[in-house]
Amino acid sequence: MDRQSEWILLRRVYAFLKSRGLRKSAHALEKEARLKYDVRRLYAHFVDGRWRRADQYVSAFMRGKENTPAASGALFVIRLRRLVEALRLRNRFWAYGYHVDRVAPLLIGHPDRAAASAQVREALRADAEGELGKAFPDREENRRACFVEFLGYDNQNKHLYRCSDPLDLNLKLIARNYSLTMRRRRRRHMPRRQQVPSGQPAASAT
């Protein structure tokens, strides 16, 4: 069974579970089978620098289409950053293997092969000369710029539109929702102020 037929079958099972009120089972199936391409979740991975999770998430949807220009370009943005992160952590043995197995094959179908190859060479050179932080700064604005570059390629992958919420493609909305979510999490973990029971005087400082 090809991916298209598998996806149609899984969507029917998902719809059946929801129609019977089995929402937890439907949600578990959606999560396990990756029925929805959640760009908002992917944005969070980018902003937080979780390149391994971003790579695994996108690769699951791109399986079998890695050689197309749009898929190669989108995956390269993530895998280059994952390669740089491994070099930054001095995990060079793993990084070189990852370069050979997962990054280099993408150059064959990349729409701008020369520029992509130059970026890989620059990462390896910067690591060898101790300039990786300067050549590939790991700041939030740089990670956001990577996401914008990723979307430029990703929006050309037409097969993903069937899994996406159209609102997910609005970058400003994604950023705003992510900011609100992080604010709520911070509030949730803030210690509550001690309340003085009504009718009792507050203790004076000594």
Note whether 62 and 123 are same-domain residues. yes
Q: Which residue has the tokens 């980018």?
A: 46
Q: Dihedral, CA atoms, 34, 10, 171, 113, nearest 10 degrees?
A: 70
Note whether 10 and 69 are same-domain residues. no
Note whether 70 and 30 are same-domain residues. no
Note whether 29 and 54 are same-domain residues. no
Q: For residue 111, give every residue at least 6 positions away whose Cβ sits within 8 Å of its Cβ, in sequence order, or none.
A: 69, 70, 72, 73, 153
| This model's pTM is above 0.75 | no
Distance from the first to the final alpha carbon of the chain:
76
Note whether 31 and 73 are same-domain residues. no
| pLDDT at residue 31 in the model | 65
Under DSSP, is residue 100 helix (H, G, I), strand (E, B) or coil?
A: helix
Q: Is residue 193 part of a domain?
A: no
Q: For residue 1, give every residue at least 6 positions away whose Cβ sits within 8 Å of its Cβ, in sequence order, or none.
A: 9
Q: Is residue 191 part of a domain?
A: no
Which residue range(s) make up the domain with 82? 37-182
| pLDDT at residue 205 in the model | 44
| pLDDT at residue 147 in the model | 92
Name the residue among 66, 61, 147 with its Cα closest to residue 107.
66
| pLDDT at residue 166 in the model | 46
Q: 95: buried, middle or exposed (CB in 10 Å: 19+, 13-18, 0-12)? A: buried
Mean pLDDT by runs of 10 across the 206 residues of the chain is: 64 78 78 70 91 89 81 94 96 95 94 95 95 92 92 70 47 55 62 52 48
Note whether 15 and 54 are same-domain residues. no
* CA–CA separation, 58 and 170 (whole Å): 18
| pLDDT at residue 188 in the model | 63
Q: How many folded domains does the chain comprise? A: 2
Going from the C-alpha of 36 to that of each of 32, 40, 136, 159, the distances in angstroms are 10, 11, 31, 12
Q: Is residue 1 part of a domain?
A: yes
| pLDDT at residue 154 in the model | 73
Note whether 82 and 176 are same-domain residues. yes
Note whether 13 and 72 are same-domain residues. no
Q: Is residue 190 part of a domain?
A: no
Q: Is residue 188 part of a domain?
A: no
Kindly state the helix (H) or strand (E) to which residue 31 belongs, with its residue range. helix 23-33
Q: Is residue 203 part of a domain?
A: no
CB-based contact 133:88 (threshold 8 Å) = yes
| pLDDT at residue 38 in the model | 76
Q: Which residue has the tokens 């790579």?
A: 55
Name the residue among 89, 24, 32, 78 with its Cα closest to residue 55.
78
Note whether 129 and 84 are same-domain residues. yes
